[in-house]
């Protein structure tokens, strides 16, 4: 049975995007298997309000459904998900229309991490930013030679959100800080090696793998793993992989401040054989100074935080950024990348030196209403569709 972009129990309720484009979420229910497809291929499956609501409602429905044992998530087209819908945030900057989306997304992030049913994500293409929140927490996250991962938020004046201050801070050494500040991309092989995915399967085998999982018709983890491992290939990073530069990455990105990290990178870039550093330095220097400082602090704090603490902190940061508490860099970054597409953002402030720790504190300060994640004993009781954040208005 296929249910296209309708809320559970309401097959007539269609997502706003669906009225003029394609159905944003497709669902197949086959025996004990549920398949959810992110279906905005022309927009690289970016995460909109409807995508968040539909995904969350289906996941909630399936968690309570005894017949649903295995959940498969995939993306249509050449992307798994390229992250949040930037235009949605840009168009909503004058009101609170997108703030409720953020609240719902953080509930969904928590749910995906604590989900009780077996999940398999098939990541065959681009997975960036918040899109990774749909794949990385899965028990089985399958990537291919077409997979490209990055967390490029600092380059648009934002921060590593949707649980990634928690995820990145638990990568080997200081790889998390490196990825967050540079926006560097990882291949599917590198994701497996870094612990951001569980298995590598050639893209031409992905359809057959999915068919085998459907035929299995069970969510038993050992059986699911057996099937995936029939298709997997053992992979290692290529010789020129950034993962082979971890000693230098640790040396530079373990520094206390962004300024010290940049200084260390400048020094290392002058060493013979370190030509790979120059483009990374250039990328960091193009990013928002404010976003860089927020991001570094958030990932560092994530090292000492639980998932729940990280999510609550990230939610606070996101709300304060979207409200332009310190700067409007996020809207300038979106304008330069996605609206005018001139790739020439004018950051304010324009230098790291203008940003004191006290100014960055403003972004981490508590809100009037914090993110209130559900307690385990009251989790997912059919109220997600009623969730709102009216106190923001």
Provide the annotated active-site residues: 84, 130, 153, 161
User: Taken in order 179, 159, 334, 371, is the CA torsion positive or negative?
Assistant: positive
Helix (H, G, I), strand (E, B) or coil at 299: helix
3-class state of residue 313 by DSSP? helix
Instruction: Output DSSP code: residue 18.
Output: G
Query: Do the beta carbons of residue 75 and residue 38 sit within 8 Å?
Result: yes
**Element at 2 (helix H, strand E):** strand 2-4
Distance, CA of 363 to CA of 319 (rounded, Å): 9
Query: Which residues lie across from 122 on neighbouring strands?
Result: 74, 142
C-alpha separations of 156 from 284, 291, 354 in Å: 11, 8, 19
User: Is residue 111 within 8 Å of residue 158, measured between CB atoms?
Assistant: no
Classify the C-alpha dihedral 321-324-329-331 as positive or negative. Answer: positive
**Calpha distance 71→203 (Å, rounded):** 20
Hey, what are 52's tokens? Answer: 């968040």
Q: Do the beta carbons of residue 125 and residue 145 sit within 8 Å? A: no
Please give the structure tokens belonging to residue 348.
């304010």
* Rounded Cα distance, 296 and 15, in Å: 36
Helix H or strand E encompassing 80? strand 79-81
Distance between CA atoms of 308 and 109, rounded to whole angstroms?
10
Q: What is the DSSP letter of 387?
A: -
CA pseudo-torsion sign 145, 117, 377, 59: positive
């Amino acid at each position: 049975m296929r249910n296209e972009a309708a809320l559970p129990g309401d097959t007539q309720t269609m997502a706003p995007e669906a009225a003029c484009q394609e159905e944003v979420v497709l669902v197949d229910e086959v025996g004990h298997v549920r398949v959810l497809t992110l279906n905005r291929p022309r927009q690289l499956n970016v995460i909109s309000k409807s995508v968040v609501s539909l995904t969350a409602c289906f996941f909630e429905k399936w968690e309570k459904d005894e017949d649903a044992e295995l959940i498969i998530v995939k993306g249509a087209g050449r992307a798994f998900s390229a992250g949040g819908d930037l235009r949605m945030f840009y168009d909503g900057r004058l009101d609170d229309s997108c703030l409720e989306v953020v609240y719902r997304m953080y509930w969904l992030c928590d749910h995906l991490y604590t989900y009780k049913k077996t999940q398999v994500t098939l990541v065959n293409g681009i997975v960036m930013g918040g899109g990774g929140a749909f794949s990385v927490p899965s028990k089985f996250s399958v990537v291919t030679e077409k997979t490209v991962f990055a967390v490029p938020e600092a380059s648009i004046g934002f921060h590593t959100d949707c649980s990634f201050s928690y995820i990145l801070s638990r990568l080997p050494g200081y790889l998390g800080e490196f990825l967050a500040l540079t926006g560097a991309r990882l291949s599917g092989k590198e994701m497996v090696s870094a612990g951001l995915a569980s298995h590598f399967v050639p893209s031409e085998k992905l359809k057959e793998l999915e068919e085998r999982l459907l035929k299995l018709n069970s969510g038993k983890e050992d059986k699911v793993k057996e099937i995936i491992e029939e298709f997997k290939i053992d992979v290692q990073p290529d010789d020129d992989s950034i993962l082979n530069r971890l000693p230098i990455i640790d040396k530079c990105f373990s520094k206390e401040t962004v300024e010290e990290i940049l200084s260390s990178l400048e020094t290392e870039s002058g060493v013979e054989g370190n030509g790979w550093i120059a483009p990374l330095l250039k990328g960091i220097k193009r990013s928002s100074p404010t976003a860089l400082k927020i991001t570094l602090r958030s990932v560092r704090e994530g090292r000492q935080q639980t998932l729940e603490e990280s999510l609550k902190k990230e939610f606070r940061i996101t709300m304060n950024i979207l409200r332009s508490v310190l700067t409007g860099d996020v809207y300038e970054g979106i304008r330069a990348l996605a609206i005018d597409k001139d790739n020439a953002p004018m950051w304010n402030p324009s230098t790291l030196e203008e940003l004191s720790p006290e100014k960055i504190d403003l972004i981490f300060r508590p809100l009037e209403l914090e993110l209130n994640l559900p307690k385990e004993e009251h989790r997912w009781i059919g109220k997600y569709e009623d969730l709102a954040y009216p106190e923001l208005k």
